[in-house]
Amino acid sequence: MSSRPGQLYILSAPSGAGKTSLTHSLIERLSLAGRRACFSVSYTTRKSRPGEQNGIDYHFVTPEKFAAMVEDGDFLEHAQVFDRQYGTGRAATEALLAEGTDVILDIDWQGARQVREAMPEVITIFIKPPSLEELERRLIARGQDDDVTIASRMAEAEAELSHIGEYDHVVVNDDYDTALDELQALFLAEQV
Tens digits of per-residue pLDDT, 23-36? Answer: 999 999 999 999 99
Q: Where are the domains of the chain?
A: 8-189
CA–CA gap between residue 43 and residue 33 (Å, rounded): 29
Predicted TM-score (pTM) of the model is 0.86
Fold classification of 8-189 is: Rossmann fold (3.40.50)
**Local structure of residue 62 (DSSP, 8 states):** -
Q: How far is CA 23 from the centre of its chain?
A: 8
Helix-then-strand count for the chain, H and E: 7, 9
**Regions of the chain where pLDDT drops below 50:** 1-2, 192
CA–CA gap between residue 163 and residue 70 (Å, rounded): 25
Mean pLDDT of the residues in the chain: 92
